[in-house]
Amino acid sequence: MAKNNIFQFYKMNGGGNDFVIFDNRKQILPADYSALAKKLCDRKFSIGADGLLVLEKEPSADFRMVYYNADGSRADMCGNGARCIARFANLHKAAGSKMNFLTDAGMISAEIYEKTVKINLGVPKDLKSDFSIKIDDKKEFNASSINTGVPHTMILVKEAERIDVQDLGSKIRYHKDFAPAGTNVNFVQPVDEHNIIVRTYERGVEGETLACGTGVTASAILCGVKELARSPVSCLTRGGDTLQVHFKIERDDRRMSVADVYLEGPATVSFYGEVEI
């Protein structure tokens, strides 16, 4: 509902990854979502968030999810955002407890539970394991990458707590090997076969976020590919919450495939209110 340029919004978070969310099924929001994201995600002068989520009508599904990063760039997918908008849709009777919704990365299915939301992230693509990245023309890192809706690069580390995510993450995110689009960067510490610690530098936020759904999914799968972990994998995020990733890896002499990818974790309402646009 909007009156005199006042719009209702929800602020939600998934493991500390936070979003401003609007129901725009009646097409009342200003058309420039990019400018809206930059304005409303500013933590000093507005609501503050890692990104903007907009729920729109979609004839082929329960609804459509549109996502913009805090810097105003559009992203194909956001795992925690998808879980939050699924709960938002259920709260606003846009969908039942089981739903399908369209994203720029394709169709997503979701199921609402009392304390968590579980989504099927479809089939990942562009898997590349064990390649070298040189930083500052001197230090080399072994990396692996995969697209779980958006591109992610994983660097294995011994102590995630000691990593300068802002500095090193930025250098890898803008590395020439990933130009022009860039990549999200995950620093991953394997703990045991069902547990990993993940810290993520997010493209579009241009800094570390407290959790990244597609990032922990990518990290869990890549650890599975490297036989460092087995599904289900519990991923401890920077915000302190644990997101669980399920997947199936099938191997034979000629190929390897990843299927049945699910991400589950908390998706909660922080607050709701009205904002002047």
Q: What pLDDT band is residue 188 in, cutting at 50, 70 and 90?
A: very high
Q: Which of 275, 270, 276 is nearest to 88 (CA)?
A: 270
- Per-domain boundaries in the chain: 2-122+267-276, 125-264
Indicate which residues carry an active-site annotation. 78, 212
pLDDT score, position 87: 98
125-264 matches 2-122+267-276 in CATH topology: yes
C-alpha span between 61 and 187 (Å, rounded): 35
Q: What pLDDT band is residue 34 in, cutting at 50, 70 and 90?
A: very high
Per-residue pLDDT tens over the stretch 190-203: 999 999 999 999 99
Coil, helix or strand at residue 221: helix
Does the structure show a pLDDT above 90 at 3? Answer: no
pLDDT score, position 136: 85
The fourth-level CATH superfamily of domain 2-122+267-276 is Diaminopimelate Epimerase; Chain A, domain 1 (3.10.310.10)
Phi, psi of 225 (to 5 degrees): -60, -40
Q: What pLDDT band is residue 1 in, cutting at 50, 70 and 90?
A: low
pLDDT score, position 187: 98
Residues 6+ apart with CB under 8 A from 192: none
pLDDT score, position 2: 62
List strand residue ranges (DSSP E) for the chain, in order: 2-3, 6-14, 17-23, 51-56, 63-69, 98-103, 106-112, 117-120, 125-135, 139-147, 151-156, 184-192, 195-202, 207-209, 233-236, 242-251, 256-265, 268-276
Could you please state the CATH topology (level 3) that the domain comprising 125-264 is classified under.
Diaminopimelate Epimerase; Chain A, domain 1 (3.10.310)
pLDDT score, position 150: 94
When pLDDT is averaged across residues 8-26 and rounded to a whole number, the result is 97
Per-residue pLDDT tens over the stretch 121-165: 989 999 999 999 999 877 899 999 999 999 999 999 999 999 999
Does the structure show a pLDDT above 80 at 249? Answer: yes
151-156 and 184-192: which strand pairing? parallel
Cβ proximity of 268 and 19 under 8 Å = no
Coil, helix or strand at residue 178: helix
